[in-house]
Amino acid sequence: MGTLDELQAQLEAFFRAQSGDPAATISDLATMPGHAGFSYGFTARYRQNGAETVERLVLRLPPPNVRYVGTADVMRQVRILNALRGTTVPVPEVRYAGEDPQWFGRPYFMTVWLDGYTLHTAPGEWSAHLSAADLHAMAEQAMQALAALHRLDWQQSVPELGPPLDPLEDVQRWDRFWERAADPELVRLGPEVKRRLLERMPPVPRIGVFHGDYQFSNLLWQGTRLVAVLDWELVGIGSVLNDLGWIMLFVDNNSWAHPRVTIPLPPPAEFARLYAEAWGGDPGDVAWYRALAGYKFGIISGFNLMLHRRGKRPDPHWEELVPSIPRLFERALEVLDGME
């Protein structure tokens, strides 16, 4: 990846070509926070049709020198964002997108910048002033948006995101990552959780679009109003309850053992109830998907810890999570046993 100065020059060339203004400028260019990287906020200024335009945007790029598949296929994100425009799932508007490498050397897309906050914000900022009623209302909105996403007719709207991921494959595909975890002791309960999941496979999963990382750090709020669901790198077609299990994992304080700031969101069971209310019926074996989420994230954490310790992808976040890795597997077994 080049420097920010190089990226600024590329952006200026892009906007000068797009607008026809040879004096178009880019300012306020900065790397956006997160563990995936390759997101940049900036302001574009240019004249078009005799008027000055100022746009605050976010640029998303795949990593350099990779195959543009899976999480690196940014055009998948463009397709789902465009499909969701005008629905009750709030998403940022895509302003520019393309696969022509002349601008950034790879595919790209840009969305409108939205002001707001996520509940990843530390206490002392806006989230510290939210009441229990506020947080419950926010949980309700999150589940309403999730149910709306799951109602999207994927075969009509985004057939290219298929074929659906089979739940059996979704359990088995993590074996190669489990085997490469930084410390085998941290993930020693993985095979037992896998065995229990395979014994209790959901009979007929409900298939649709799943976000893949639906948690509060990817939900943008203005006050207590949900204004956007962000970060669609893991979007796919498969069992939609993957998303419900995932968010229930991240709001479950009993799944975590490392020091963490907790915001008093409703408990996991309330999220399941709110989702059922928004969906209009019993969602099914939610516990299985909660356990699957803990299994996945435990393996992901062990694998990323290995990458961090070997210097392949340094990120101290994974070192902080070490106490929670074995706890994630323990909690998955508890959930399968019916412990709330």
CA distance 44 to 22: 13
Helices first, then strands: H and E counts in the chain = 12, 9
Q: Which amino acid is at 30?
A: A
Determine if the peptide bond prior to 163 is cis (ω within 30°): yes
pTM for this entry: 0.94
- What dotted CATH number matches 126-336? 3.90.1200.10
The 10s digit of each residue's pLDDT in 232-282 is: 999 999 999 999 999 999 999 999 999 887 788 999 999 999 999 999 999
Do 231 and 218 meet the contact criterion of CB atoms below 8 Å apart? Answer: yes
CA distances from 185 to 119, 191, 213, 325, 328 (A): 32, 12, 26, 10, 13
Considering the four listed CATH numbers 1.10.10.10, 1.10.3720.10, 3.30.230.10, 3.30.200.20, the one that applies to the domain covering 4-112 is 3.30.200.20
pLDDT score at 34? 63
pLDDT band at 26 (very low <50, low <70, confident <90, very high): very high
**What are the domain boundaries of the chain?**
4-112, 126-336
pLDDT band at 37 (very low <50, low <70, confident <90, very high): low
> Residue 308: which of 322, 297, 321, 319 has the closest Cα?
319
The 10s digit of each residue's pLDDT in 66-109 is: 788 887 899 999 999 999 999 999 999 999 999 999 999 999 99
Same fold, 4-112 and 126-336: no
Q: What is the DSSP letter of 330?
A: H
**Direct distance between the N- and C-terminal alpha carbons of the chain, in angstroms, rounded to an integer:** 45
